Amino acid sequence: MAQPRTRRPARPREEVYAAARTAIAEHGLARLTMAGLGEQLGMSAGHLLYYFGSKDQLLLETLRWSETQLGERRSRELARREVPVLERLARYLELYLPEGPGDPRWILWIEVWSRSPGTADLRRGQLDIETPWQDDLTALLDEGRGTGVLPATTPAATRATQLRALLDGLAIPLAIDLPGTTREAALTHATSAAHALLGV
């Protein structure tokens, strides 16, 4: 008599996200297949599709998971009121920029940006994931103005938007390993531009 087949337990979502982040960073979303990812995880493609619905949704949820991890760290560091505002701003810049070429978190962002023009769900998800970065920077700039460290001129939210746009422009060439780009140079440019933008 045939023995009943034992069902393999579903992988924790964190394990799926970690494997997807690695695969997307190495090969891009276009070359990622649910079947290939499922095989790597010991799951079926159908099981992955059941949970995520599509590769776009898997991409978005993997990015959300990745950013949540970093967001917890960012919030802890920016909340340290005993550390001067400008030092916490420097830490924000460090956390925002890629660790180096091929940074998996930034490759996820680039994939989302490249696919979001034709997908409203991705645009909404992208905005939802970006908002904590904007809110934390705005709060930090507001705090600096309240203590007299930063001049009270342009609204903090406007300055935060301008500064994040500048950081995105520095981050993408570094993430895609454009010749001549380094993390050290990107941080130097970011710090100089941030201070000029904020008038300090």
Residue 189 to residue 182: CA distance in whole angstroms: 11
97, HSE (Cβ side, Cα atoms, 13 Å): 27
Confidence of residue 8 (pLDDT cuts 50, 70, 90): very low
pLDDT of residue 9: 47
Average pLDDT (27-35) is 78
pLDDT of residue 11: 61
User: Cα-Cα-Cα-Cα dihedral of 26, 27, 28, 34, to 10°?
Assistant: -110
Confidence of residue 36 (pLDDT cuts 50, 70, 90): confident
Token reading at 50: 């059941």
Q: What is the pTM of this model?
A: 0.85
Which one has a higher pLDDT value, 4 or 74? 74
Percent of the chain with pLDDT over 90: 54
Residue 91 to residue 111: CA distance in whole angstroms: 25
Confidence of residue 7 (pLDDT cuts 50, 70, 90): very low
Confidence of residue 44 (pLDDT cuts 50, 70, 90): confident
Confidence of residue 54 (pLDDT cuts 50, 70, 90): confident
Q: With 50 as the cut, is the pLDDT of residue 4 above it?
A: no
123, HSE (Cβ side, Cα atoms, 13 Å): 5
Average pLDDT (87-114) is 94
Instruction: Tell me the pLDDT tens digit for each residue of 164-191.
Output: 999 999 999 999 999 999 999 999 999 9
Q: With 60 as the cut, is the pLDDT of residue 3 above it?
A: no
Q: With 50 as the cut, is the pLDDT of residue 128 above it?
A: yes
- Spell out the domain ranges in the chain: 55-198
Residue 24 to residue 109: CA distance in whole angstroms: 11
Gyration radius from the chain CA atoms: 20
Decide yes or no: CATH 3.40.50.2300 for domain 55-198.
no
